[in-house]
Amino acid sequence: MTATFQPLPATLTAIETVHEAVRVFTFEHNQPMTVAPGQFAEILLPGIGSFPVSACGYVTAGSFQACIKQVGRVTTALFRSAIGDRIDLRGPFGHGFPLADLDGRDLLLIAGGLGIAPIRALLQAVQGRPVRSITLLYGVRRADDLLFLPELKALAASSCLRLLLAVEEPLVGSLPPLWCNGTITDLLDELPAVLDNTAVAVCGPPQMYAALLERLAESGIAAERIFANLERRMRCGVGQCGHCVAGGRYVCTEGPVFNLVQLRQMPGAIA
Amino acid sequence: MQFITLDKTTGSSLWEVLAAVCTMLTPGLAPDGLVRWLPAKGWPLSDVLLPAAPVKAFLLPQNEVVWGNASDAATLRPTALIGVTLCDLAAVAVLDRVFAADSGWQRRRHNLFLVGMPCAGDADCFCSSWSKLPACDLYVDQNRRLWLVSPRAIALYTKAGFPGERDERGPVLPLGKQTAATGALFEQPLPQPEALAAAAARCLGCGVCTAVCPTCQCFDLREAIGDDNVVQRLRVWDSCQFAEHGRVAGDNFRPQQVDRLRFRLEHKLHGFGPERGEVTCVGCGRCARACPSGLGLHSLLAPDAGGRS
């Protein structure tokens, strides 16, 4: 028996469908385990398989919330689960977004696709912290792919958040306010000219990082305040199994959140 | 450091002290033609042979239940490996750091007594010169001195009435195989992209290099149903040379064999994680012996310096 791999029994307590293939699952357990924004946990379906996933909500100890897309065998099994089912967890793993470093900053959140999940957790976490302002740039391929839109719009309406949306697939008719046709990088033109007090948190598909991160640095944001959450096939979570290594670093233990100074020293870490 | 001279009068007594608490194994030629760990009856009289499988096979089983049933390993009788080469000792030290917090590794490590010995090497190996003795329990040097290295070895032999003599110079260590002719292999840069692509074109992606490598540690975690329908979680050896290794939902971070070959070289030359900046190749040459395409690490780094190609 290897204690590192001992799972934590949890119960599936809520399922919310937020897209035809995406649901938010809430798990509850009786341990003081909290998955901070940017950290991840492993969801295990006994006898079926497991996968790593980051927290999509900032919740109290004893609870874990994850936004999951149905893509394969194990996620399909999870989608067939019912409230009350036993699901195991392992974690939390890795380093999340450095909340204290964001205090007093103009916070720029950037999410691509399902990358909104950990960004949503971060957005919830900073609500109670002294950040100076929050802007969210959120890009998806199709308008239907936008997740958590009602709650994001509600935050924007209450002036807690400046929300800008980018949709790659052309929209029919006139564009609603906040929207643009294009990608995340097209939204960068909407940012203020002076960004020297800005801190950035990014999560999205790997191909998004290469173009985006250096452009953010060129716009005047300090590289040590540009944080990106790397997606990798994290298996053990404890820096042993070798799967998630990028640029010589274990993403599971040294990340998954890295700043741009670190990423520049990790060849191959971002596409 | 303390030593006891292995002579006709003490040799068998010293053997019995260890054999009383451990199952004794030493490298020998097995009927299948491979060098394997076989039951040992006395101190090896000549240079030791390099077993086909590295010592990691004793410490990180190819298939291990990491969750789902009680383990009986804690009750296993300790094993003493008599005649571990310096390269294999160095490899255990590398993995000791990787698995420092792993209870399964630590339990098996506690049950494994490592007795180092020099070896003559062969055409495929390429270790650096040994400036210090890698961690082990006992070491038998070229002068037939049995060095008591670890605290538990000192305690064992002191209790048995063999406190030994002291020689602060420690054992004489053999010269490594890396010579002026081969150059400092481990200081070589990674091969140029064209050379790496040419090597990748010959690589079968079979992963045998990683299976026999004493410092390759990659594993996968798999679900299984064990006896009595008990759900189990298995830790199973994996290989960074397999296409699945870098796959994540919808993507693959090492899609081509050349990416995977570079990944392996980066680990061997530059280390990963806490071992970053350290050479994790110990020069045993097993990859050269095992690779069906002749792509041993030696030939990848210095294709003109000898070794198989």
> In this predicted model, what pLDDT tens digit does every residue of A186-242 receive, in sequence order?
898 888 888 889 999 999 988 889 889 999 999 999 999 999 999 777 889 999 999
Query: What is the pLDDT, as a whole number, of residue A89?
Result: 94
Query: What is the pLDDT, as a whole number, of residue A98?
Result: 96
> Of A262, A257, A231, which Cα lies nearest the Cα of A38?
A257
Distance to chain B for A255, nearest Cα, Å: 11
- B131-147 burial code (b ≥16 CB/10 A, e <16): eebbebbbbbbeeebbb
Q: Are A92 and A64 in contact (CB under 8 A)?
A: no
Grade residue B306 by pLDDT with cuts at 50, 70 and 90: very low
Per the DSSP assignment, residues forming a β-bridge with B60 are none
Please report, as a single letter, which amino acid is at residue A170.
P
Nearest CA in chain A to B69: A1
Distance to chain B for A132, nearest Cα, Å: 36
**CA-to-CA distance for A135 and A177, rounded, in angstroms?**
15
Phi and psi at residue A122, to the nearest 5°: -65, -40
Query: What is the pLDDT, as a whole number, of residue A2?
Result: 47
Select from A4, A50, A248 the Cβ nearest to the Cβ of B102: A4
**Residue B212 in this model has a pLDDT that exceeds 90:** yes
Query: What is the pLDDT, as a whole number, of residue A254?
Result: 94
Query: What is the pLDDT, as a whole number, of residue B10?
Result: 87
Q: Are A174 and A127 in contact (CB under 8 A)?
A: no
Distance to chain A for B246, nearest Cα, Å: 6
- Residues from chain B that touch A50, judged by Cβ atoms under 8 A, are 221, 223
Mean pLDDT for chain A overall: 91
Q: Are A35 and A43 in contact (CB under 8 A)?
A: no
CB within 8 Å: A242 and B218: yes
Nearest CA in chain B to A270: B253
CB within 8 Å: B103 and A7: no
- Residues from chain B that touch A115, judged by Cβ atoms under 8 A, are none
Grade residue B178 by pLDDT with cuts at 50, 70 and 90: low
Distance to chain A for B133, nearest Cα, Å: 26
User: What is the layout of strands, in order, in the sheet containing A8-19?
Assistant: A49-54, A40-45, A86-93, A8-19, A22-28, A63-69
Higher pLDDT, A191 or A257: A257
Q: Which of B265, B268, B272, B276 is the mutation pick for testing A, counting most A CBs within 10 A?
A: B272
Q: Which of B223, B239, B280 is the mutation pick for testing A, counting most A CBs within 10 A?
A: B223
> Of A85, A66, A69, which Cα lies nearest the Cα of A10?
A85
Distance to chain A for B219, nearest Cα, Å: 5
- Residues from chain A that touch B222, judged by Cβ atoms under 8 A, are 49
Q: Are A5 and B67 in contact (CB under 8 A)?
A: yes
**CA-to-CA distance for A109 and A225, rounded, in angstroms?**
12
**CA-to-CA distance for B97 and B85, rounded, in angstroms?**
19
Structure tokens at B90: 């160095």
Which uninterrupted H or E stretch holds A65?
A: strand A63-69
A vs B, Cβ pairs < 8 A, gives: 112
> Of B232, B229, B263, B269, which Cα lies nearest the Cα of B246?
B263
CB within 8 Å: B66 and A253: no
**CA-to-CA distance for B35 and A10, rounded, in angstroms?**
48
- Residues from chain B that touch A268, judged by Cβ atoms under 8 A, are 253
**Residue A33 in this model has a pLDDT that exceeds 60:** yes
HEC sequence for chain B: CEEEECCCCCHHHHHHHHHCCCEEEEEEECCCCCEEEEECCCCCCCCECCCCCCCHHHHCCCEEEEECCCCCHHHCCCEEEEEECHHHHHHHHHHHHHCCCCHHHHHHHHCEEEEECCECCCCCCCCCCCCCCCCCCEEECCCCEEEECCHHHHHHHHHCCCCCEECCCCCCCCCCCCCCCCCCHHHCCCCCHHHHHHHHHHCCCCCHHHHHCCCCCCEEEEEEECHHHCEEEEEEECCCCCHHHHEECCEECCCCHHHHHHHHHHHHHHCCHHHCCCCCCCCCCHHHHHCCCCCCHHHHHCCCCCCCC
**CA-to-CA distance for B194 and B14, rounded, in angstroms?**
55
- Residues from chain B that touch A47, judged by Cβ atoms under 8 A, are 223-225, 231
Q: Which of B248, B262, B263 is the mutation pick for testing A, counting most A CBs within 10 A?
A: B248
Query: What is the pLDDT, as a whole number, of residue B190?
Result: 84
Q: Are A148 and A175 in contact (CB under 8 A)?
A: no
Note whether ipTM > 0.90 here: no
Query: What is the pLDDT, as a whole number, of residue B309?
Result: 37
Structure tokens at B98: 């990787």
Distance to chain A for B303, nearest Cα, Å: 25
Rg of chain B over Cα atoms, rounded to whole angstroms, equals 21
Query: What is the pLDDT, as a whole number, of residue B191?
Result: 85
Q: Which of B221, B231, B247 is the mutation pick for testing A, counting most A CBs within 10 A?
A: B221
Select from A69, A238, A242 the Cβ nearest to the Cβ of B240: A242
**Residue B223 in this model has a pLDDT that exceeds 90:** no
